[in-house]
């Protein structure tokens, strides 16, 4: 806080002499000049402009600090909420509003579908290229051998060449991902032919072509799906 200065100049103090007949040294008189007395500024007096500016800057910094703390707390809260409410259950992978489960157990097509339903899902229904691309990319790291593939929810077991998904929708012929020369309904392993579809391409699938028909009784791994949690 600034201080005010008061100047007193040429002030003399003279001490009375006890005996006027006795000479006293000249030092009996003392002269004080330019005496300065400082005192603090009274409350309510106008503060310097520089002080006001410093006060304003400090207030702004405090406000920014408070906002930063609140923002950090909000981000942390959102992260905790997200972790507390995952979109998919443990073991399921999210993509495009769905959750996918890649089973490592080899079962027949019917057994695989039963397993998916026991987890409140079903064998996967592929609706677009983006979904097919996601599945192809995920299966590359899950295939132990070239012939290690996964059941999907597509079959023509009711009527030959009438391909239906497990949700009873017809296969869109403009959105298929058959490998070359598939489906071929070979019967050398099973007299019933190949009425169920499996997919996977260990070294990558050109143009996403990774579907192959197979006997529904052949043990395969599978892909289950269900909607993400609301």
Domain boundaries along the sequence of the chain? 3-40, 93-227
CATH fold label, 93-227: Mannose-Binding Protein A; Chain A (3.10.100)
Residue with tokens 């599978």: 222
Residues in the chain: 230
For residue 95, the cross-strand partners are 98
Q: pLDDT 10s per residue in the chain (230 long)?
A: 454 454 444 545 444 444 444 444 444 444 444 545 444 455 555 555 555 555 566 777 777 877 777 777 665 655 544 445 689 999 999 999 999 999 999 999 999 999 999 999 999 999 999 999 999 999 988 998 888 999 999 999 999 999 999 999 999 999 999 999 999 999 887 788 999 999 998 887 889 999 999 999 999 999 999 999 87
Which of left, alpha, beta for 158 (phi over 0: left; psi -120 to 50: alpha)?
Answer: alpha
45 CB burial (10 A radius; 0-12, 13-18, 19+)? exposed
For the question of whether the overall pTM of this predicted structure is more than 0.85, the answer is no
């Amino acid at each position: 806080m600034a201080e005010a200065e008061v100047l007193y100049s040429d002030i003399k103090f003279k001490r009375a002499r006890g005996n006027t007949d006795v000479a006293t040294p000249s030092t009996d008189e003392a002269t004080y000049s330019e005496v300065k007395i400082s005192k603090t500024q009274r409350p309510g007096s106008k503060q310097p402009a520089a002080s006001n500016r410093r006060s304003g800057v400090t207030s702004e910094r405090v406000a920014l600090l408070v906002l930063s703390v609140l923002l950090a707390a909000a981000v942390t809260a959102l992260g905790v909420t997200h972790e507390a409410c995952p979109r998919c259950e443990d073991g399921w992978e999210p993509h495009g509003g769905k959750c996918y489960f890649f089973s490592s157990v080899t079962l027949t097509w019917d057994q695989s579908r039963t397993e998916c339903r026991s987890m409140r899902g079903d064998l996967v229904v592929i609706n677009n290229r983006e979904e097919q691309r996601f599945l192809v990319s995920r299966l590359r790291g899950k295939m132990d051998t070239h012939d290690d593939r996964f059941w999907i929810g597509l079959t023509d077991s009711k009527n030959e060449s009438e391909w239906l998904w497990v949700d009873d929708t017809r296969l869109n012929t403009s959105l298929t991902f058959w490998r070359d020369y598939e489906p071929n309904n070979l019967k050398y392993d099973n007299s019933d032919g190949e009425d169920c579809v499996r997919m996977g391409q260990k070294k990558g699938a050109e143009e996403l072509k990774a579907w192959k028909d197979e006997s529904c009784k052949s043990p395969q791994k599978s892909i289950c799906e269900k909607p993400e949690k609301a």
